[in-house]
């Protein structure tokens, strides 16, 4: 049996970029088989989560600026099969549903106040509200899991 000091380093850092600049996402396995994942972006700092984390937990490396297959393999070894990765998949789907409902609302929202148009607005708004509620729940579970350290 290995002591903690004999365990190999399991921290992995992936540099990512978006329109706001360069950021660093780090992930590591900690005591109890849980993982810790953080990002240096403003969204993570203010909201406690970010899309960079979601993208990487869903094993999408498009935003990674320095592609390294060994680092990506190591990242996958750290996060795959964890409850956090499962919740990230749910958040990813909820984000896509919300974005689609918002685009549909913006694109198909009619002008005018006649009954047919109001019904169309109500239907589009209902779809958007349902997608927002699903996203809100998924994000709440994701943030709770991140905050608990039991990821």
150 or 72: whose pLDDT is higher?
A: 72
Percentage, residues of the chain above pLDDT 70: 91
Q: Which two tokens stand for residue 139?
A: 């994000």
Number of structural domains in the chain: 1
42-85: per-residue pLDDT in tens?
999 999 899 999 999 999 999 999 999 999 999 999 998 888 89
β pairing state of 34-39 and 21-30: antiparallel
20-38: per-residue pLDDT in tens?
999 999 999 887 777 889 9
148 half-sphere exposure, CB direction, 13 A CA radius: 12
Q: Which residue range forms the structural domain that includes residue 102?
A: 4-148
CA distance 151 to 144: 9
**pLDDT at residue 6, rounded to an integer:** 40
Return all residues near 91 (Cβ < 8 A) that are at least 6 apart: 54, 135, 138, 139, 142
Return all residues near 116 (Cβ < 8 A) that are at least 6 apart: none
DSSP labels for 76-122? HHHHTTSHHHHHHHHHHHHHHHHHHHHHHHHHHPPPS-SHHHHHHHH
Please tell me the least confidently modeled range out of 28-32, 103-107, 128-132, 143-147. Answer: 28-32
Q: Are 74 and 25 within 8 A, CB to CB?
A: no
Return all residues near 83 (Cβ < 8 A) that are at least 6 apart: 145, 150, 151
**pLDDT at residue 92, rounded to an integer:** 97
> If we measure between CA atoms, which residue out of 138, 129, 114 comes closest to residue 58?
138
């Amino acid at each position: 049996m290995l002591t903690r000091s004999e365990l190999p380093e399991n921290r992995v850092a992936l540099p990512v970029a978006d329109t706001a600049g360069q950021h660093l996402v780090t992930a590591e396995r900690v005591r109890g088989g849980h993982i810790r994942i953080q990002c240096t972006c403003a969204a993570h700092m203010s909201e406690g989560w970010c899309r960079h984390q979601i993208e990487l937990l869903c094993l999408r490396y498009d935003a990674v600026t320095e592609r390294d297959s060994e680092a990506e393999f190591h990242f996958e070894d750290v996060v795959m099969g964890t409850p956090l990765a499962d919740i990230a998949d749910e958040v990813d789907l909820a984000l896509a549903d919300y974005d689609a409902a918002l685009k549909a609302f913006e694109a198909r929202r009619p002008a005018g106040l006649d009954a047919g148009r109001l019904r169309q607005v109500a239907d589009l708004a209902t779809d958007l509200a349902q997608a927002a509620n699903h996203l809100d729940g998924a994000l709440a579970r994701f943030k709770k899991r991140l905050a608990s350290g039991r990821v």
